[in-house]
Structure 1
Amino acid sequence: MTRIKPEVEVEPETQISDQFNDLKRSLATVSADQWANLPEVGDLTRRNKRQRQLLQSQQRSYAMPDSILSGLASSTATETSIVDEETDFESISRARDQMLGHQLDRNAGETASVDSAAYLQADTESFSTDEISDMQKTRSIFRSLRKTAPHVPRNWIMSARLEESARKYDAARRLINEGCLLNKFSEDVWMESLRIHGSQPKQQKLIISEALKFNGSSVRLWQAAIALETEKSRVVRKAIEANPGSSELWKAAVGLEPAAANKTKLLRKAVSLIPQSIDLWLMLIDGAEELEAKKQWLGEARKYNPRSHEIWLAAMKLEEGATGNEVKIERLFNMAIRRLEMEEGTNTQGPDKDTWIAIAMECESLGFPLCCEIITRTVLERDISSKNYTMEEESIIADCVIAAQNAVEGDYPQVARSIYAVLSRQYPTNIDVWLHYTGLERRDIPRLHQVFQEALKFNSESELLWLMYAKSRWQDANDVTGAEQVLQEALGFIPHNEEVWLAKIKLATATGDFTKAKAFFAEARGTSVRLWYKNVHFLRFMGMRKEAETLVEEGLRKFPGCEKLHLQRGQIETEDPYAKAIEGSSAQPPHGLASARNAYLAGTKQCPSSLALWTLLALTDEHLGVVIRARSTLDQAILKNPTLPELWVAKIRLENRQNNVKQARAASVAALSKFPHSAAVWCEYLPLCEKASQRKNGMMDALLKTGNSSRILCFIGVQFWKDGKFTKARTWFDRAVKADPANGDHWAWYYTFMQQKLGGEMESFMAEFEQVELINEGECWNATAKAVENYMKDKTAVLIQVSQLLRSQSVYQGI
């Protein structure tokens, strides 16, 4: 059956194109802005292909020879890239540059300005059979370099060193000998040949003889020849004939000459040929026996080397050794400075400030103190005067202090002394400068007192300087009369200064002159509340209770808001109940507690924010047997002073003393919620924890919350002591005293521990304790140190007493 195809009517192409004629005509109406804003048509056909090509290029890797990989092994970045199987193109490029270094050096030829000896030495150190994994390929590279550039010495040197690193010494000698034949005028290749033939002295002599035929002007080769010969003088003379301008060869000749007169002749000839050689001039000057001859040679040396600071320095040293005339030495140095600053067109520059300071240190070490002082003083004065317009005073002082401290560390005290002397003259009213100066001179007592006297001329109202001077007179020089005179002189400038009066009173009491101390108090107290209550304390110590009571009443009329006068008034009535409460005493309440309570109560009205008055008032009520009133007192104090965590501590301790453990625990939890960062509250809360695990976690939280407070550190040490972990206990005690060395309670606990467990190490412990200058913190320490009966006791006696007091605290029972 025949399939009949349908007839399709096909229109000519012109009919299709005609359909777009109207669109084409409308393009004539499109503006320039519309044309510019037409969107770009994306290349949809090649976009994915370009992305694939980019990804392939990023993942592309290259095969590298083993020599490059071994060279990259020393680089941390390259090691990481190799391990991670990622290509580090930067490292590859760096390795390629390293391998092409030989070709670059060959192209550079002999004109490159490099230190060939150092360069070759670096190459020697870099060669190792461990680093060159493909020795044959490396040999092939060097063989090609020798063939293409046989007259480049470095190619032969490196080839010989390669064989030497592979322990093929015969091949190394053969290569270097061939290199010498092809590079007869290169001293480097001959020096390398001498080194490689180091085990063959006879062969070395032949090599050096041949080398000098072609390199007669090489100082290095002549020095090698001198070292090889036994008759060195003959070789030196030949070397000088070939190189009359070599100062090194002239030095060698002088060193070989035994007679002083012959040395002088040689040096005179040498300086006539090489007048610019500073070393030769200095040798000539040092070798001259007569002073006039030295001066003559110095004049000649300055004529040829006017800008050499070494020559000027030699003249200064000569003047100091001959006459010790400071004026002449200073004139010489000023002339040197001016001459070094002349001729601005020259390239030569004189030493800078740091270099001059180093020269001054050298002068001090050689025994020229005047040169040292003059150099330091002149250079610093010029430097400071040039900086006064561009730098702040504090910055200049800080820079000079650093220089002085560096000098002290290097054992150059004269340099440091000169620096501080300049600073004290430039900035005489700066107290910090004088403090640094006196700190330097603290071992030289007469000089120290001179510095104090000079400082006080410009700072006559400085309380600190007067007190330091008086203390040094008293303790360092054992001059009590001199110390009294210093303090009396200080009062002439600052008559109402409390610290000076207290120092004067302390000096009188320390020497046992209590009558004089009493008179000083009467003269000084006037309108000073501090001197007033210290006077009351002194009268109590002397047993003058009636006078103390009268003085307290008079003081309270003048200073009704003085907390310490109210405390003194209550303490006069009876013994201090604070210590009784701490000790947990069960004794009957002493007589006078009612009067004491009235004194404390009056004090809280005048000083409502006084922690001590509120605490003593509550303790007094407790001793009177009125515990309810004591609780009410503390609650009232907390309401008036909600930011004092110590009042909560007093409340917790009150409940503990009454054996109300639940109330104490509840109070500690409440206090901790209000004061989570208080170390005092944590120290009360932790012992009340029922479980050991809870206490352990609590100690970790306490350290975190209090920022490693020293009180928490000490508390943890006590806990470890109780648990029998003595090593850990000592560690924590040590941390506590280092964190806060001024806290006497920490030292007392540490002392108690050492006494019981490590008695053999008490000497070192006490030495460390004595080094602490000021201990004025710690609840028990202050209560003990300020007790009337301990008025004259030193800190060691107080330490022992506080130790006994701390061990009686119920919080730390069980040790």
Structure 2
Amino acid sequence: MFGVTKDFIGKSAPPNYVAGLGRGATGFTTRSDIGPARESGDFGADAKKAGGKEGGDDDDDERYQDPDNEVALFSSGPYDQEDEEADRVYEEVSNRMDERRRTRREAREKEELERYRKERPKISQQFADLKRQLNTIDEAEWAAIPDVGDLVGKNRKKNKMPERFTPLPDTILAAAREKSQYETSIDGSTTDSADGMMTNFREIGQARDKVLGLKLDQVSDSVSGSTTVDPKGYLTDLNSIALRSAAEIGDIKKARLLFSSMTTSNPLYAPGWMAAARLEKEAGRIVQARSIIAKGCEHCPTNEDVWLENASLNTVENAKIILADAVRHIPQSVKIWLKAVDLETDPKAQKRVLRRALEFVPNSVKLWRAAVNMEENPEDAKVLLSRAIELVPLSVELWLALARLETYKNAQTVLNKARKTIPTSHEIWIAAARLEEEHGTPARVGLVIQKAAIALSQTGAILDREQWLKEAEKCEKNGSVLTCQAIVSSTIGLNLEEEDRKDTWMDDAETCIAHGSIETARAIYAHALKEYPARQSIWKQAAFLEKSHGTSQSLEELLQRAVRYCPQAEVLWLMGAKEKWLADDVKGARAILEEAFRANPNSEQIWLAAVKVESESNEYERARKLLELARKESGTERVWMKSAQLERQLKNYEGALGLLEEGLNKYPTFDKLWAIKGQIMDEALNKTNEAREIYNKAVKNCPKSIILWILLAKLEEKLGMVTKARSTLEKARYTNPKTAELWVEGIRIEIRAKNTSAAKAMSAKALQECPTSGALWREVIYLEARPQRKARSVDALKKCEHDPIVVTTVALLFWTDRKIEKARNWFQKAVQIDLDQGDSFAWWYKFELQHGTEEQQELVIRRCIAAEPHHGEYWQAVAKDMSNVGKKTGEILKLCAAKLEPIK
């Protein structure tokens, strides 16, 4: 037995083993006993350590780096500058040698790491070949893979043993089937129960009827004999009873317990009683709620909210009694008195309660106001107000109410007394100014407001500009326009520096317009024009205000004054002439333009406006003479263009081409002259080849003109040269990068060529270059199939939310999906974003023609005429057509809507 050799004899000790440690022996532990600081598998670290040892002792002990800690042979000697220099040299040599050995060390580390990975590969590498083989598995093999079983602990035995099934007897199955079925017939009036008792259904029905009758008798009125419940509808009313779940009942019980604890621990806390009563009311226990709130009134008799809650939980008659008890405890409570007044239905009783309340609370403005409002006779109201201002002399409201009831002279006296009593009230001064305006003394309105500003500043009750402007807006809404104007003129310049006045006043006027206070804004502009009569921008803003919210007469008067102060302002002259022309007063328009000529002899805009008036009045000879004079005196490129356009309109193509040649000799880089010449050759004279040559010359002279490149591409496509048209647009995009119009035309060429895939590819490139172009997104949305258009429109709105083209496209999608109201809202949104986009108005009008009423159609026409749009792809095509020259905005809207085709 003793000759057996143990298996641990001769083997190495386990890690961290210390001999005798278990018996209490003590000793020291070395690094060899503990082992390395890193894990044994970290060969990269071991490699670095080995490399460091081969190249020298890089990790020297810190004591050899600090001369103060040296314990070597020469540690006792002084450490001087030479020793420091020697250490620095040795360190540099060591670093240099380490740099030389780095390549070999890194290569050796890499080799050892690779060898380690080969010996111990990752799990993902071990199963890489199996993963690649999964590509060859079909669905049947996938389905044949068994489920993973639970082979842990007891489940191991369960999974190994086959599952056993024991069939049930037929009697148990038959009994279960009979138990789940219902008996649909009754044999006789009784049936046997499980315990052998007989159940009589007739007796149960009779008992139910008796119980129901007793309940109906209990709710009847014992005095009058008439029931308060409809017996026939009683069962129907039971359906209206709110059934509460177990969770709600549990919450109510918890809250009831909490409130009970609150009222018990602190009975003087009024909100606790109110909350407990409201809980019972919510639970449908109104009697308990009344009882709780009554106890609350006993414990908190000086809290008005508890009394009001008690009154609200009771009937009207009981509430009157409760409030009568309340005023005995709190006679100074205004809320309780007003609640008592509300409970009374007879006006006399209400007056009696109010007078009783005023005996206890004579300084309450609310009670006096209620009492005055109850009086139907103005004389009685005056008497009450006279007494009220004696008792409450600091109430501005009561003074003003009395002044409104008095005559003009008496009202002045009352307001003077009020001003002396309350010198810091600006409302009294404004009421005095309104009084003067109402009685036909406008000259005194401004004096009153000026005195008000001085008096209030002396008393220290200074209002800033914003507060005075708000008061002016209130006066305008109350119909006191003169008072509003006086407030603006007297206070608009308070606390403003000279250099900030103009900009601040313009901002104030825009703010008032946004609030709908037109008279206040008009007064601000009038005051600004007095201070700066030569400022053209102020006159323009005032003119736009009159055009939008004033009359034609007021606008004409304003423009006449404007051109007297600013005779060099061409815009003001043109606005006056346009208003005359829109009013069919051609002579008046000519007279204004003649005066404008004298003030601005070489103005291009005035020349062209005069030509427009004559041409649209069918005075073509006068227009030709004016243009001839304009070419001699002004001679701008637009004058030459209008001259050619007039001849083209009159179908004098030879004269137009002659003018174009002469104009191009002077202005060879004006693209519109080239465009008109090409269009005449192509559309009027059917000389397409000559037109193509003209466009080719044009793009050489005007390489930055987008319209010329597009016209050339369209003409080449018309000639069947689709490939050449693509090449032209490619050159154009190279010359004019990030130009959405060129990409749009290229996409449309591909669509017309029925090359949808190329169009989609081009649209993807276009969106990379121009991601915020609404026209591009419109084409991209139309390229998608109908189910995908909604998702594309969401992407478009993310990139350019406030683009009218995108918003109009979304409206068209709603129109296609028959979502009429949404489509109408989105059309309105598109119009609000940009009033100058005529296509949005045209699509909206076409939509209303199909789904709207005549009023809605007229609304679109009125808004379009007021906006006078000039841009839009379809709008410009219709407006600039020679057959539509001279037509007004409403006519162009209808023509444009007729040419639009809904999306498919």
Q: TM-score range by the shorter chain?
A: 0.5 to 0.7
Match of 2:442 in 1: 326
CA distance in 2: counterparts of 1:157 and 1:752, whole angstroms: 60
After superposing the two structures, state which structure 1 stretch, 661-670 or 751-760, moved more: 751-760
Match of 2:558 in 1: 451
Match of 1:439 in 2: 544
Percent sequence identity over matched residues? 26
* 1:481–1:157 CA distance, 2 compared to 1 (3 A): same
CA distance in 2: counterparts of 1:291 and 1:745, whole angstroms: 59
Would the aligned equivalents of 2:747 and 2:759 in 1 still touch at CA under 8 Å? no
Would the aligned equivalents of 1:470 and 1:483 in 2 still touch at CA under 8 Å? yes
- CA shift at 1:446, angstroms? 0.9
Which string of whole-angstrom CA distances, capped at 9 and with x for unpartnered residues, describes residues 32-53 of structure 1? xxxxxxxxxxxxxxxxxxxxxx
Would the aligned equivalents of 1:254 and 1:263 in 2 still touch at CA under 8 Å? yes
Would the aligned equivalents of 2:675 and 2:708 in 1 still touch at CA under 8 Å? no
Which string of whole-angstrom CA distances, capped at 9 and with x for unpartnered residues, describes residues 190-226 of structure 1? 22222222x2x33223222222222222222222333
Q: Are 1:161 and 2:278 counterparts?
A: yes
SS in 2 for 1:506: helix
- Written as runs of structure 1 = structure 2, the 5 A alignment for 1:604-753 is 615-617=692-694, 634=696, 656=717, 659=720, 678-688=743-753, 690=755, 692-696=756-760, 698-699=762-763, 702=766, 705-707=769-771, 709=773
Q: Are 1:785 and 2:785 counterparts?
A: no
CA distance in 1: counterparts of 2:870 and 2:596, whole angstroms: 27
Return the match for 2:603 from 497, 510, 513: 497
Q: Are 1:237 and 2:349 counterparts?
A: no
Return the match for 1:341 from 457, 469, 474: 457
Match of 2:20 in 1: none
SS in 1 for 2:596: helix
Match of 1:8 in 2: none
- Written as runs of structure 1 = structure 2, the 5 A alignment for 1:543-562 is none
CA distance in 2: counterparts of 1:279 and 1:498, whole angstroms: 62
Would the aligned equivalents of 2:726 and 2:746 in 1 still touch at CA under 8 Å? no
Match of 1:52 in 2: none
CA distance in 2: counterparts of 1:253 and 1:751, whole angstroms: 56
Would the aligned equivalents of 1:317 and 1:368 in 2 still touch at CA under 8 Å? yes
* 1:654–1:740 CA distance, 2 compared to 1 (3 A): farther
Would the aligned equivalents of 2:502 and 2:528 in 1 still touch at CA under 8 Å? no
CA distance in 2: counterparts of 1:539 and 1:259, whole angstroms: 80
Return the match for 2:643 from 529, 535, 559: 535
Would the aligned equivalents of 1:285 and 1:297 in 2 still touch at CA under 8 Å? yes
Which string of whole-angstrom CA distances, capped at 9 and with x for unpartnered residues, describes residues 152-203 of structure 1? 3333333323333333322222222222223333333222222222x2x332
Match of 1:59 in 2: none
CA distance in 2: counterparts of 1:745 and 1:638, whole angstroms: 28
CA distance in 2: counterparts of 1:704 and 1:449, whole angstroms: 51
How many pairs were matched up?
622
* 1:206–1:304 CA distance, 2 compared to 1 (3 A): same
Q: Are 1:215 and 2:319 counterparts?
A: no
Would the aligned equivalents of 2:596 and 2:606 in 1 still touch at CA under 8 Å? yes
Would the aligned equivalents of 2:838 and 2:869 in 1 still touch at CA under 8 Å? no
Match of 1:296 in 2: 413
Match of 2:568 in 1: 461
Which string of whole-angstrom CA distances, capped at 9 and with x for unpartnered residues, describes residues 27-70 of structure 1? xx9xxxxxxxxxxxxxxxxxxxxxxxxxxxxxxxxxxxxxxxxx
CA distance in 1: counterparts of 2:562 and 2:456, whole angstroms: 36
TM-score of the superposed pair, with normalisation by structure 2: 0.57
After superposing the two structures, state which structure 1 stretch, 279-288 or 673-682, moved more: 673-682
Match of 1:516 in 2: 622
* 1:694–1:134 CA distance, 2 compared to 1 (3 A): same
TM-score of the superposed pair, with normalisation by structure 1: 0.63
- CA shift at 1:262, angstroms? 3.1
- CA shift at 1:518, angstroms? 3.1
After superposing the two structures, state which structure 1 stretch, 727-736 or 499-508, moved more: 727-736
Would the aligned equivalents of 1:309 and 1:350 in 2 still touch at CA under 8 Å? no
Which string of whole-angstrom CA distances, capped at 9 and with x for unpartnered residues, describes residues 111-164 of structure 1? xxxxxxxxxxxxxxxxx9999964444444433433343333333333323333
Return the match for 1:171 from 272, 288, 291: 288
CA distance in 2: counterparts of 1:681 and 1:400, whole angstroms: 48
Would the aligned equivalents of 2:845 and 2:860 in 1 still touch at CA under 8 Å? no
| Amino acid across the alignment from 1:149 | N
CA distance in 1: counterparts of 2:417 and 2:849, whole angstroms: 78
CA distance in 1: counterparts of 2:337 and 2:839, whole angstroms: 77
SS in 1 for 2:302: coil
Would the aligned equivalents of 1:474 and 1:483 in 2 still touch at CA under 8 Å? yes
- CA shift at 1:292, angstroms? 2.1
Would the aligned equivalents of 1:226 and 1:236 in 2 still touch at CA under 8 Å? yes
SS in 2 for 1:233: helix
Q: Are 1:378 and 2:378 counterparts?
A: no
Return the match for 1:579 from 683, 697, 715: 683
Would the aligned equivalents of 2:674 and 2:694 in 1 still touch at CA under 8 Å? no
Stretches of structure 1 that go unaligned for 5 or more consecutive residues are: 1-22, 30-127, 598-612, 619-633, 808-814
* 1:367–1:132 CA distance, 2 compared to 1 (3 A): farther
Match of 2:589 in 1: 483
- CA shift at 1:368, angstroms? 2.0
| Amino acid across the alignment from 1:579 | E
CA distance in 2: counterparts of 1:177 and 1:246, whole angstroms: 28
* 1:489–1:662 CA distance, 2 compared to 1 (3 A): closer
- CA shift at 1:468, angstroms? 0.9
Stretches of structure 2 that go unaligned for 5 or more consecutive residues are: 1-67, 77-244, 790-808, 818-822
CA distance in 1: counterparts of 2:703 and 2:631, whole angstroms: 35
Would the aligned equivalents of 1:407 and 1:415 in 2 still touch at CA under 8 Å? no
* 1:232–1:576 CA distance, 2 compared to 1 (3 A): closer
- CA shift at 1:447, angstroms? 0.6
CA distance in 2: counterparts of 1:794 and 1:671, whole angstroms: 35
Which string of whole-angstrom CA distances, capped at 9 and with x for unpartnered residues, describes residues 237-271 of structure 1? 32222222223333333334444333322222221
Structure with the larger RCO, 1 or 2 (CA within 8 Å, 6+ apart): 1
* 1:804–1:314 CA distance, 2 compared to 1 (3 A): closer
* 1:511–1:269 CA distance, 2 compared to 1 (3 A): same
Return the match for 1:147 from 264, 283, 302: 264
- CA shift at 1:484, angstroms? 1.4
| Amino acid across the alignment from 1:401 | A
Match of 1:388 in 2: 497
After superposing the two structures, state which structure 1 stretch, 641-650 or 435-444, moved more: 641-650
- CA shift at 1:397, angstroms? 4.0
Match of 2:100 in 1: none
Which string of whole-angstrom CA distances, capped at 9 and with x for unpartnered residues, describes residues 9-44 of structure 1? xxxxxxxxxxxxxx99x9xx9xxxxxxxxxxxxxxx
Would the aligned equivalents of 1:743 and 1:776 in 2 still touch at CA under 8 Å? yes
Match of 2:380 in 1: 262
* 1:518–1:218 CA distance, 2 compared to 1 (3 A): same
SS in 1 for 2:492: helix
* 1:644–1:188 CA distance, 2 compared to 1 (3 A): closer
- CA shift at 1:701, angstroms? 5.3
CA distance in 1: counterparts of 2:498 and 2:290, whole angstroms: 66
Which string of whole-angstrom CA distances, capped at 9 and with x for unpartnered residues, describes residues 526-554 of structure 1? 24233245335545656778977886777
Would the aligned equivalents of 1:716 and 1:729 in 2 still touch at CA under 8 Å? no
* 1:663–1:265 CA distance, 2 compared to 1 (3 A): closer
| Amino acid across the alignment from 1:302 | R
* 1:161–1:129 CA distance, 2 compared to 1 (3 A): farther
Would the aligned equivalents of 2:710 and 2:745 in 1 still touch at CA under 8 Å? yes
- Written as runs of structure 1 = structure 2, the 5 A alignment for 1:769-784 is 773-775=868-870
Would the aligned equivalents of 2:320 and 2:340 in 1 still touch at CA under 8 Å? yes
Which string of whole-angstrom CA distances, capped at 9 and with x for unpartnered residues, describes residues 692-734 of structure 1? 4554555565556544756657767998999xx9976987999
CA distance in 2: counterparts of 1:752 and 1:259, whole angstroms: 57
